[in-house]
Amino acid sequence: DRGDKKKSFSSMPMRYKRKSFLSVPMIFSPMNLEKRVMGVINMTDKKTSDMFTSGDLRLLSSIASQAAVALYNIRLIEEVKDAERVKREMEIAQQIQMGLLPNQPPKLPGLELAGRCLPATQVGGDYYDFFPDTEQKLGLVIADVSGHSVGAALMMAAARSTLRSEVIARKSPAKILADTNFALYDDLTRAELFITMFYAEYEVTTKILRYSNGGQNCPIVLRDGSCTDLDTDGMLIGVMKSVEFEEKTMRLEPNDFVIFYTDGVVEAKNKDGQMFTIERLRNVIETADRRASAGELLERIYAEIGQYSGNALRSDDITVMVLKIYE
């Protein structure tokens, strides 16, 4: 078979009339730092002579150099267009994400709320919200969708809509997470995404906090200068279709703080690439003035993260939500 191919090739008529050839690479050196071969120009069958001259070589080299610059500029323009398209997509995704967040926390007797999402250089997909039910109950959620794209932002919008419908149905925190997971599983699987989510319900009259966790960082309760984690078992949203989530309760006391946060807080990096860590966050919280408001503690956390990170670019959103209990 290979012999037949070789025989067929050798029996083909020659395409070129003469035996002289001239080949010149198209080389471009941006900023005279790096040589890039953009292609090769080949010439043969010179009409006026059987041989190419040194003058032909100089002329073809000049043409090749100009052609290389033109090709490089064309590629550069295409790269800029792609970068602008990606940048615009990120801006749209960030607008979608920021539009999902509450403008301001609700005001309920006996408590104070504060929350903020500091967006990353790229879209991170963080989300937090409050769900007041008259003046007796308050739902709180903090979540983070995987990925950094318009698709991730749209998925969080879908999750927000689904979550709200489950909250309106007055279900328990564990049931809310289970039904939200069931409703979003197919879409998350197709998109190859998942969501971490923590949901809590606070009763104003009894000061009871009920909560369930779907793979989110455990919120921290500050009481008398000491930190305690709200730890429960639960799987990420979108990993399995049918999941049972553990639900726990805790009675809060006057001057207690509950700090909800996403992984962008503890994974914030300084200029040396070192993370902020959970230990540093705990230290910031434990040394806070117990007379501080929810907003003041929120500001202190962000100030400490900002001082630690300096001018380092944020690779993920930094989201914190603070609940303080009064008499």
175-208, pLDDT tens digit by residue? Answer: 999 999 999 999 999 988 999 999 999 999 999 9
- CA-based R_g, the chain, Å: 31
How far apart are alpha carbons 162 and 181 in whole angstroms? 9
Lowest mean pLDDT among 34-43, 87-96, 158-167, 221-230: 87-96
Q: What are the Cα distances from residue 123, in Å, to 42, 60, 268, 304, 322? A: 48, 49, 15, 22, 23
- Of 295 and 83, the one with more pLDDT: 295
pLDDT over 60 (residue 12): no
Q: Which of 75-84, 238-247, 289-298, 304-313 has the lowest mean pLDDT?
A: 75-84
Calpha distance 195→184 (Å, rounded): 10
The two tokens of residue 201 are 């319900």
Residue predicted with more confidence, 186 or 54: 186
Q: Which of 177, 105, 191, 95 is nearest to 145 (CA)?
A: 191
d(CA 118, CA 100): 14
Q: Judging by beta carbons within 10 Å of its beta carbon (0-12, 13-18, 19+), is residue 78 exposed, middle or buried?
A: exposed
Q: Is the pLDDT of residue 7 over 60?
A: no
Positions of E strands within the chain: 21-28, 36-44, 111-118, 126-133, 137-145, 195-203, 208-214, 220-223, 226-229, 248-251, 257-261, 318-325
d(CA 105, CA 131): 9
Q: Which residue has the tokens 């267009």?
A: 81
List C-alpha distances in Å: 235 to 29, 47, 173. Answer: 53, 77, 14
Both tokens of residue 18?
A: 């003469």
Instruction: Judge whether 18 and 50 are in contact, CB under 8 Å.
Output: yes
* pLDDT tens sequence across 227-260: 999 999 899 999 999 999 999 999 999 999 999 9
202 Cβ contact list (under 8 Å, min separation 6): 111, 137, 138, 140, 208, 209, 210, 252, 323
Please give the structure tokens belonging to residue 215: 């793979």
* Residue 93 confidence (pLDDT): 66
Residue pair 227/286 in contact (Cβ under 8 Å)? The answer is yes
Q: What is the DSSP letter of 269?
A: B
